[in-house]
Structure 1
Amino acid sequence: MCGIAGIFHLQVAKPVEEARVRAMADAIAHRGPDGSGIWTAPGVGFGHRRLSIIDLEGGVQPMPSADGRHVIIFNGEIYNYREVRAELTALGVEFRTHSDTEVILEAYRRWGPKSLDRLNGMFAFAIHDTADASLFIARDRLGVKPLFYAELSDGSVIFGSELKALTAHPLLRRTPELSAIDDYLAFGYVPDDTSLLQGVRKLPAGHHLTLRRGHPLPAPVRWWDVSFADRAKGSARDLEAELVDLMRKAVTARMIADVPLGAFLSGGVDSSAVVALMAEESREAVKTCSIGFDHPDYDETRYAGEIAARFATDHRVRIVSADDYGLADTLADHFDEPFADASALPTYRVSQLARETVTVALSGDGADEAFAGYRRLTFFNAEDCVRRLLPQGFRTNVFGTLGRLYPKMDWAPQKLRAKSTFQALGRSEGEAYAEAVGVTPMALRHRLYTDQMRSSLNGHRAEDRYIKAMAAAPARDGLDRAQYADMQIWLPGDILTKVDRTSMAVSLEAREPLLDYRLIEFAARLPVSMRVRGTTGKWLMKQAMRRYLPDDILFRKKMGFVTPISAWFRGPLAEEAGRIAQGSMLAQTGWFDPAALDRIVRDHRSGLSDHGRLLWQLMMLDKSLGRLFG
């Protein structure tokens, strides 16, 4: 795992200053504390920061080919590099190292962009071809590893693993992208197809890009996509066996490392399944770690302890304060763009704990997206059954009216909170899911904006991103389309960004076996009934794991990392809340109505409304603005 940065001149092969490339690479030194390298040639410069995982002595980067024509920098891991290496060796390729980096380089030299189809892993890399003055950059199928890029006024394109690598370049203009502000408030993160800075882009997951000197900057090319259009055949028992086999292969492949390896263990289904399969494969006790909280409502350590005992792992637990809001500034430093998923706090803490004893940790991320584990997906699937039975006009008239009239009762038992269900049934499929996955509705966002901000957005609506993704999905039904949109937007924008930044902040490599593309493709072909039954998501996966895990782990209510942010803004963060309305950088931008911000703060402090999540969003936005524009 590493950090990469580079400069490529599109029009003229101008000299590239080594010091400039070094500054970009050093800005992301936390991603690679074990070594650094700089390489420059006319019109191009590469910088690399290394976290040594495989071939500790031989995998030094930037890495040139034997003939010097090609040079590569690479961030990530290729889990099947030995198989690809064997295939290339049979074709006459001679290798100088035992690294997966050289395998990527030689695969590209042999097969060009088609080499990506052979790679199973997480990656972002760049290869320069000195013979035809081109730069090839690529990102893995699901966007596990990030890659930012931007075109500058001097005709160069700069790129790097994090935004801070780009902001280290003095020619990058720091102008806010206002549509990204609306996106962030809608979802709690800046989506993967945009950036908070105008002109900065993220190479989309499953895409590559070829830059050629003398040609304009082209659009990225998609090289992989997941399809929900086909259905697997076979009995539940046969599909269970196939699923376990795929999971076992995915976990085993990610246990290859030349450094200490372990796993995050929350006690939930996904991390427990990963640990079970690791224990099955390992000759030694698996190193596991868990974070507990000093408040019983947020603590899951007893479930993690149950799994640790079941599989005799070398288990470590650390109890942290539920009032861990002091990490907000640290997270703002590492995320660059605003990020409001408060589970980033405990994810950072568990990464810290893991890094004390291991360099690589396997996580359970990805199963909820692949197998429909989120509660919002099971609800959406039930609502979609109603949508298929009743015409849109009827639903709009009946359920739309009920949604407007029914009172909002967040305090009431779950069964009585019908307002959001009525509203969802009154909307189209895409509108309903875009609202379900969002965190701050458009109506509330627009109440916060000034007239000038609303005008500057020029009709932009963050929810349209989900609506378009669902409409274009290669899929059969509503659940397919919702999961497809999550994989395109939520997964790279929220989940994978969170894990990458928090783990890399402490120089830990996190691996996600449940995001193996073969598992993703298998899950996308499953009939809906194999993913969701009633209110139970991940149905087939839970059935398959019954041979390994007890029912009290498999079927308990999903909890995840929970943080008491609403209480924070009525207690220790009350002063921070007051700053949001007055005196903060946010209040000075002219984007937000100070009176509307003040009303949000007062209503939350008084208990009249619960705006804790919105206040956290606004606070994290303020901190990011201070770092990028202050």
Structure 2
Amino acid sequence: MCGIAGIFHCGTPKPVDPARVRAMTDALAHRGPDGEGVWSAPGVALGHRRLSIIDLTGSPQPMASTDGRAMIVFNGEIYNFKELRRELENAGARFHTDGDTETILAAWQKWGPDCLSRLHGMFAFALYDLDARTLFLARDRLGVKPLFTAMLSDGSLAFASELKGLLAHPLLRREVDPLAVEDYLAWGYVPDHRSILKGVEKLPAGHYRLLRHGAPPAAPTRWWDVSFAERRRESAADLEAELLFHLREAVTSRMVSDVPLGAFLSGGVDSSSVVALMAEASRDPVRTCSIGFDESSVDETNYARQVATKFSTDHRERVVASDDFSEIDRLAAMFDEPFADASALPTWRVCQLARETVTVALSGDGADEAFAGYRRHRFHAAEERARLVLPARLRGPVFGALGALWPKADWAPRPLRAKTTFQSLGASGEEGYARALAVVAPELRASLYSDGFRRELGDYRAERPLIDLMRSAPARSGLDRAQYADLKFWLPGDILTKVDRTSMAVSLEAREPLLDHRLIEFAAGLPQNLRIRGGQGKWLLKHAMERYLPRDVLYRPKQGFVTPIAQWLRGPLAGEARRIGRGATLARTGWFDGDRIAGLAEAHISGRSDHSRLLWQLLMLDRSLAVLKIA
């Protein structure tokens, strides 16, 4: 795992100052404390920071191909590099190292952009071909590894693993994109189709860019997609056996490492499944770690301990105090862009714990998106059945009126929280799912903005790109479209961003076996009743793991990391909540109605309402603006 950065002149190949690229990689030092390097040629420079995982001393970067005709900087891991290497050696390639980086160079020289389909792993890399005078930027299928780019005023394209790498370049403009603020308020993160700064882009997951000197900058090209359009027809027993095969392949391929390796263990289905299969494949005890909470209602350490005992793991755990909010400035600095998923804090804490004994940790991320494990998936599937029965001309007026009249009752038992359901049923499936996924509803967002900011937004609404994505999805059902959107929108924007930044902040490599693309493609073809059955999501996965895991681990309600932000904002952070609308950096932007925000803050602090998620989003936005030195 590493950090990469570079500069490429798309027009005339002007000289590039290596010191400028070195400053960009220095900003990424946390991603690679074990080595650094910069290479330059007319019109291009590549920089690298290395966290040594494979071939610890033999694969420095930037790395040249054997014939010296190509250079690469690479962030990630290629899990099938040994098989690829043998194939390339049989075709005449020669290698001087024992790592995966040189394999990418040889694969490029044999297959060009088509090499990507042969790479199994997580990656973002920049490869310069000296003969063709081209720069090849590529990102893995699911977007596990990030890559930011920006066109600069001197005609060059700069790229880096994190926004802070681009921020080290003096020509980068620091002007906020108002559409990104709308996106962030809706989702709690800035999705991959946008960046918080104008002119900065993220290379989309499963895409590449091929740039040439003297040619206009090429747009990203999609090289991979997942399709939900076909259904597997085998028996449930046969599909279960195939699922277990894919799971074992995914886990064991990610256990290759020349440094200590372990796993995150929350006690939930996904991480427990990964640990079970690691234990099956390992002669030594698996090293596991868990984070607990001093609030018993959100603590899962008993389940993690149960799994650790069952598989005799070398288990470590640490309790996070419910008042662990002192590091929010540091948290904001990790992400550069505003990021309001409150589970980032415990995720960072478990990464810190893991890094004390290992350099690589396997996680359970991805199974909920692939196998329909979220509660919203079950609700959406039920709503879609209702939409099939009730025509739109009936649903719109009836449920639209009920949604408008029904009170918002976050405090009530779930069956009585019907407002969102009514609003959803009154709309199309895509519009309903966008509303379910949004953190802040469009009506509330609109009420927060100043008149001037509304004019800047025009008719743009954050839900539109998600709705369009769902409508164009290769899918057969509403559940398919929801899962496709999760894999393409939510997963790279929220979950993978969270894990990448928090793990890299402590120089830890996190690997996601449940995001193996072959496993994802298999899951996308499952019949819907093998994803959701009897009120259970991830049905086939849970059934397959019954031979490994206790039923109370498999079938208990999903918990996830929970951070007590509502209590914080009524107690030690109440002053921060009050400042958001009046005296904070955010107030000076002129984007929001300060009186409206102040009223919401007081309503929350007094306990009359729960506006914790919105206030937390605004607080993290305020902190991010300070990191970006804006306003």
**Deviation string, structure 1 residues 550-577 (Cα, Å, up to 9, x no partner):** 1100000000000110111100001111
Alignment correspondent of 1:222: 222
For 2:204, what is the secondary structure of its paired residue?
coil
Task: Please say if residues 7 and 158 of structure 2, whose CA atoms lie closer than 8 Å, have aligned partners that are also in contact.
Answer: yes
Alignment correspondent of 2:60: 60
Listed as ranges, the gaps of 5+ residues in structure 1 are none
Alignment correspondent of 2:240: 240
Deviation at 1:18, TM superposition (A): 1.2
Deviation at 1:407, TM superposition (A): 2.4
Alignment correspondent of 2:491: 491
For 2:262, what is the secondary structure of its paired residue?
strand
Alignment correspondent of 1:607: 607
Report whether the alignment pairs 1:388 with 2:391: no
Alignment correspondent of 1:462: 462
Instruction: Give the letter for the 1:467 counterpart.
Output: I
Instruction: Give the letter for the 2:530 counterpart.
Output: M
**Deviation string, structure 1 residues 184-213 (Cα, Å, up to 9, x no partner):** 000000001110000000000000000101
Task: Say which is worse superposed, 491-500 or 58-67, in terms of deviation.
Answer: 58-67
Instruction: Give the letter for the 2:216 counterpart.
Output: P
Task: Please say if residues 151 and 199 of structure 1, whose CA atoms lie closer than 8 Å, have aligned partners that are also in contact.
Answer: yes
Alignment correspondent of 1:84: 84
After superposition, residues 358-507 of structure 1 pair within 5 angstroms as: 358-507=358-507
Instruction: Give the letter for the 1:489 counterpart.
Output: F
Q: 1:620 and 1:406 mapped to 2: Cα distance?
A: 31
Instruction: Give the letter for the 2:477 counterpart.
Output: D
Alignment correspondent of 2:207: 207
Q: 1:236 and 1:379 mapped to 2: Cα distance?
A: 24
Q: 2:413 and 2:266 mapped to 1: Cα distance?
A: 27
Q: 1:567 and 1:289 mapped to 2: Cα distance?
A: 27
Q: 1:91 and 1:68 mapped to 2: Cα distance?
A: 18
Task: Say which is worse superposed, 118-127 or 421-430, in terms of deviation.
Answer: 421-430
Q: 2:433 and 2:268 mapped to 1: Cα distance?
A: 25
**Deviation string, structure 1 residues 223-265 (Cα, Å, up to 9, x no partner):** 0000000001111111111001100000000000000000000
Report whether the alignment pairs 1:168 with 2:168: yes
**Deviation string, structure 1 residues 48-100 (Cα, Å, up to 9, x no partner):** 00000000111100001122110000000000101111110110111110110
Instruction: Give the letter for the 1:245 counterpart.
Output: F
For 1:467, what is the secondary structure of its paired residue?
helix
Alignment correspondent of 1:147: 147
Alignment correspondent of 1:254: 254
**Deviation string, structure 1 residues 396-434 (Cα, Å, up to 9, x no partner):** 122222222222222222222222212211111111000
After superposition, residues 105-124 of structure 1 pair within 5 angstroms as: 105-124=105-124
Task: Please say if residues 74 and 123 of structure 1, whose CA atoms lie closer than 8 Å, have aligned partners that are also in contact.
Answer: yes
Task: Please say if residues 372 and 483 of structure 2, whose CA atoms lie closer than 8 Å, have aligned partners that are also in contact.
Answer: yes
**Deviation string, structure 1 residues 19-74 (Cα, Å, up to 9, x no partner):** 10100000000000001011111111111000000001111000011221100000
**Deviation string, structure 1 residues 513-540 (Cα, Å, up to 9, x no partner):** 0000000000000011010114210010
Q: TM-score, normalised by structure 2?
A: 0.99
**Deviation string, structure 1 residues 368-415 (Cα, Å, up to 9, x no partner):** 000000001111011111111111111112222222222222222222
After superposition, residues 543-622 of structure 1 pair within 5 angstroms as: 543-622=543-622
Deviation at 1:280, TM superposition (A): 0.0
Q: 2:71 and 2:489 mapped to 1: Cα distance?
A: 32
Deviation at 1:606, TM superposition (A): 1.4
Alignment correspondent of 1:337: 337
For 2:11, what is the secondary structure of its paired residue?
coil
Deviation at 1:629, TM superposition (A): 2.7
For 1:553, what is the secondary structure of its paired residue?
helix
For 2:326, what is the secondary structure of its paired residue?
helix
Q: 1:589 and 1:415 mapped to 2: Cα distance?
A: 40
For 2:327, what is the secondary structure of its paired residue?
helix
Task: Say which is worse superposed, 49-58 or 598-607, in terms of deviation.
Answer: 598-607
Listed as ranges, the gaps of 5+ residues in structure 2 are none
Deviation at 1:593, TM superposition (A): 0.8
Alignment correspondent of 2:131: 131
Q: 2:487 and 2:123 mapped to 1: Cα distance?
A: 17
Alignment correspondent of 1:9: 9
Task: Please say if residues 410 and 610 of structure 2, whose CA atoms lie closer than 8 Å, have aligned partners that are also in contact.
Answer: no
Q: TM-score, normalised by structure 1?
A: 0.99
Q: 1:76 and 1:390 mapped to 2: Cα distance?
A: 48
Task: Say which is worse superposed, 231-240 or 403-412, in terms of deviation.
Answer: 403-412
For 2:128, what is the secondary structure of its paired residue?
strand
Task: Please say if residues 128 and 135 of structure 2, whose CA atoms lie closer than 8 Å, have aligned partners that are also in contact.
Answer: yes
The number of residues matched between the two structures is: 630
Deviation at 1:5, TM superposition (A): 0.2
**Deviation string, structure 1 residues 331-354 (Cα, Å, up to 9, x no partner):** 111100000000000000000000
Instruction: Give the letter for the 2:533 counterpart.
Output: R
Deviation at 1:277, TM superposition (A): 0.1
